[in-house]
Chains A and B, each alone.
Chain A
């Protein structure tokens, strides 16, 4: 008799359409989108047959251009041609060295403003333009609307940068399944392709960011052991070393945006040529000055030695945190266009005393890995792989004397939650402010301010009597959320979050409104359709869960869930958006304990080796 396959409760047995999902590498210099097609990850081609979309956006009055078209304006309209916007996202004006950007930057409220001929733009909207283009390419290639995307970020991106990236995705109309770290994505593509096992280092030097991650690859599970890096170190800085050299030698005007733009382009050309040639001859006129140089690889190496040392230092730190030595490493994977530089390859090869792995295209490997992960999360693939990643930066709070008290140490496996107890210092105090920072330094000013949380409605008590338990949770996207309760009275304090960077919820809503072209009726019917899909899914999965595991419930619990289920089915028939949402929320919340029990059961079954996936006759 044939084996009947009965799937786990909670996972749909209905054969669903292959969900259209993609992986997106939103890079400093170039961006890519990929999807798993017929079992293999593939980069989706742009219209001009290239795999790479330059991360460049050009604004003119009422028009936006993205990619190569935008790049064409770099030499004639540098002020309005925005490249490397990834170096600005999630930051404030004080965080950037304006000399490095041939743009008009100013302080926005929580963001950096870039002045263009189409008005002020912030890095989130600029990034959204790139994402919109990628989404269009994907939908054209795949023949329909996307269900979701996995977007990559540098492992060393902090909370503000991650949140800003998510905001940009939302503006671009993308449903984010997960943010994943670039080195981890590369490891996924590489590890699955080569079926590698063991301890691996991913050395990821991109245009603007540097990450080094140490992973353990085993069957069905990739675990990040440690990650280090510098979100402000990349190929652009190697270019800058040449720019500085030329500016100094030829006494060029560093305040002239057009001149600096031309020098930047020249510097990049030199760097790239030196990746293949031992020396390069330059003869170019810029602003009336003649630049005549013969650049050698040796010369270049001397100019960028400090930068190389920084990458090696971060690599050693990561090895320390992972408690591994260089000879315990089974392979070193090179990722990012900047790893093509011979001086980098030499330095890393010497450190690990082994040949480096760079047979997968270093420009594409991150997007391919993200596509694989998107496929897994959407439930499409046959691939059974779990990624366990870590938080790259320690999380702490400000205490007396502007000192940081560390709550969650760096390289802790996600998801993680830690609770900390606080108390009041004045009689009758009903509020307190908690300042959360990210970083490894001991002083608050040396760390990155994430947000100030104001706890209100603390029951008034004698000073020191209140026991306020604050729980810090970091999710699998690497994002922080905070909850608080007064434990002696069990009151949940109300929390107001003032993020130090980024757009407020209202800002985002406003930007979303203005970007929709849909008519009002369309908006409403679209919202209703989405609500109905979610409700239907909940109904279907709840019924399946009850079929399989209702023995976990008491009679009253069972009746309660059944009633909520009936209410939701009725609400669906009413076609009233609010009613359906309310009933969905109700059923979701009330069935949480049931979900918890079912998970406990699946854990027990997995540990004792009994899987209900196989019923044999």
Chain B
């Protein structure tokens, strides 16, 4: 039975997270149960250590990523549904993709584009924080998560183009 990830790391169940505390607690836990700690121990401890360490890694990766963390919180409160993004956002998506294609070779313009998209990223993160932590508005949060996810991927593409 997998434990609630927030409980595992001794953190409150919120979108706004203390990243340093998450990292610190992750390291503390792995230092206790990682398979290397049981290299010369008994079979049962080796098996359980492998299972737990794997679960802890999964929990950490989930809580570390804003989009995964948000999706996880939502999954604790409602079943996963297919989200339809509003048409104006879908238009914006296409525009951004086209813009990126156009400026791919121009580092200066890419830098500016990156700044603009970063701003959107911050905006959606903040919105998500309100929707999840303050309002518990799961439906709206679901839409914002997908927007944030798209912007995250776009930033990744921009970074690849910059290199």
Contacts and interface: CB of A to CB of B under 8 A. Distances in A.
Interface of A: 10-11, 19, 148, 177-178, 218, 220-221, 316, 320, 376-379, 384, 386-388, 412-417, 473, 475-476, 537-538, 541-542, 584-585, 587-589, 591-592, 594-596, 599, 602-603, 606-608
A417 B43 contact: no
B93 interface: no
In this complex, which of B35, B39, B160, B163 has the most chain A Cβ atoms within 10 angstroms of its Cβ?
A: B39
In this complex, which of A388, A412, A538 has the most chain B Cβ atoms within 10 angstroms of its Cβ? A388
Interface SS of B by simple majority: helix
A606 B36 contact: no
Nearest to A605: B32
A592 B28 CA distance: 22
A603 B27 CA distance: 11
Contacts of B57: 412-416
Interface string B47-86: 1111111100110110000000000000000000000000
A599 B48 contact: yes
Contacts of A599: 32-33, 48-49, 52
A109 B10 CA distance: 52
Contacts of A377: 36, 39-40
Chain A binding surface, main DSSP class: mixed
Contacts of A595: 44-45, 47-48
B16 to A, nearest CB: 20
A128 B34 CA distance: 30
A178 B39 contact: yes
A417 to B, nearest CB: 5
B40 A148 contact: yes
Give me the 6 closest cross-chain CB pairs, A-B, nearest first: A377-B39, A588-B43, A595-B48, A588-B44, A415-B54, A595-B44
Contacts, number: 106
A377 B37 CA distance: 7
Given A415-B54, A591-B44, 13 more contacts: A10-B41, A11-B41, A320-B163, A386-B30, A413-B60, A415-B35, A538-B43, A541-B42, A592-B47, A592-B48, A595-B47, A596-B51, A596-B52
10 contacts: A19-B40, A178-B39, A378-B39, A387-B36, A476-B34, A541-B45, A592-B44, A595-B48, A603-B8, A603-B32
A320 B44 contact: no
B143 interface: no
B118 interface: no
A473 B36 contact: no
B131 interface: no
B130 interface: no
A45 B53 CA distance: 38
Contacts of B54: 415-417, 473
A509 to B, nearest CB: 21
A334 B38 CA distance: 31
Given A416-B54, A416-B57, A607-B25, A386 B42 contact: no
B31 interface: yes
Nearest to B42: A538
B64 to A, nearest CB: 10
Contacts of B127: none
Contacts of A587: 44
B49 to A, nearest CB: 7
B43 A388 contact: no
A10 B48 CA distance: 13
B33 A376 contact: no
A409 to B, nearest CB: 10
B75 to A, nearest CB: 15
A414 B60 CA distance: 12
A591 B43 CA distance: 10
B117 interface: no
Nearest to A597: B48
B36 A476 contact: yes
B29 interface: yes
B136 interface: no
Nearest to B27: A221
Nearest to B35: A476
B159 interface: yes
Interface string B2-26: 0000001110000000000000010
B60 to A, nearest CB: 8
Contacts of A417: 54, 58
Contacts of A594: 44
A400 B88 CA distance: 34
Contact of B28 (A10, A378, A588, A606): A606
A178 B29 CA distance: 21
Nearest to B38: A10
Contact of B160 (A320, A413, A592, A606): A320
Contacts of A473: 50, 54
Nearest to B159: A320
Interface centre among A177, A221, A595 (most CB of B within 10 A): A595
B56 to A, nearest CB: 8
Given A415-B35, A417-B58, A476-B36, A388 B50 contact: no
B36 A178 contact: yes
A379 B40 CA distance: 8
Given A320-B160, A416-B58, A599-B49, A388 B30 contact: yes
A596 B159 contact: no
B58 A603 contact: no
A386 B34 contact: yes
A501 B40 CA distance: 29
A534 to B, nearest CB: 8
Nearest to B37: A386
A415 to B, nearest CB: 5
Contact of B29 (A10, A384, A584, A603): A603
A530 to B, nearest CB: 14
A602 B28 contact: no
Nearest to B49: A599
Instruction: Determine which residue in B30, B32, B33, B60 has the highest number of CB atoms from chain A within 10 A of its CB, and name it.
Output: B32
A386 B56 CA distance: 15
Contact of A475 (B9, B29, B50, B60): B50
A413 B61 contact: yes
Contact of B31 (A178, A386, A537, A591): A386
